[in-house]
């Protein structure tokens, strides 16, 4: 976790080198957090795809039949695109989730769980630290 925002007194005692190290450390943590969040969303595509596959297989519908059913609904989705969705290699679009829900008689919520992977408090803290760093760097560089 990124350390809490320093007090104004701590900022005033901070040297340029300390500020650069603080910024670099927090930048590395931010990039690691960003990558972790991206991985969670990639995993979500895999989970949603698995739900699509399970629903299709439980209803004993082939990919070819599903593609044909979607085409009748005015939505062209190839068998290979369905396979990509089921593997999680491609995300399921909202319009596709609605159509699949209509075809299979399930609500759109079937495809997604209630998850909120974004830690809003952490994001707000990072933004506050970044803004303070920009202000402090401007003061150190005489860009006020």
pLDDT band at 21 (very low <50, low <70, confident <90, very high): confident
Query: Which tens digits make up the pLDDT trace of 53-96?
Result: 999 999 999 999 999 999 988 888 999 999 999 999 999 999 99
* pTM of the predicted protein model: 0.59
Please, where are the H alpha helices in the chain?
8-12, 16-58, 63-72, 79-87, 94-104, 120-140
CA 129 vs CA 22, 28, 90: distances in Å: 10, 14, 35
pLDDT, average across residues 130-144? 72
Domains of the chain as residue ranges with CATH: 16-137 (1.10.260.40)
Residues 6+ apart with CB under 8 A from 6: 14, 132
Predicted local confidence at residue 129, as pLDDT: 73
Query: Which tens digits make up the pLDDT trace of 33-49?
Result: 888 888 888 888 999 99
Residue showing tokens 């004993």: 60
């Amino acid at each position: 976790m990124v350390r809490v925002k320093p007090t104004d007194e701590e900022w005033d005692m901070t040297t340029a080198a300390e500020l650069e190290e603080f910024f670099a450390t927090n930048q590395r943590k931010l990039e690691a957090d960003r990558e972790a969040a991206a991985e969670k969303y990639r995993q979500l595509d895999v989970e949603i795809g698995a739900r699509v596959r399970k629903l299709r297989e439980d209803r004993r519908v082939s990919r070819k039949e599903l593609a044909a059913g979607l085409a009748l609904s005015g939505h062209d989705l190839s068998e290979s695109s369905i396979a990509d969705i089921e593997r999680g290699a491609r995300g399921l679009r909202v319009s596709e989730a609605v159509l699949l829900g209509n075809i299979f008689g399930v609500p759109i919520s079937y495809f997604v769980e209630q998850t909120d992977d974004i830690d809003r408090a952490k994001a707000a803290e990072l933004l506050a630290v970044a803004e303070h760093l920009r202000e402090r760097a401007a003061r150190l560089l005489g860009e006020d």
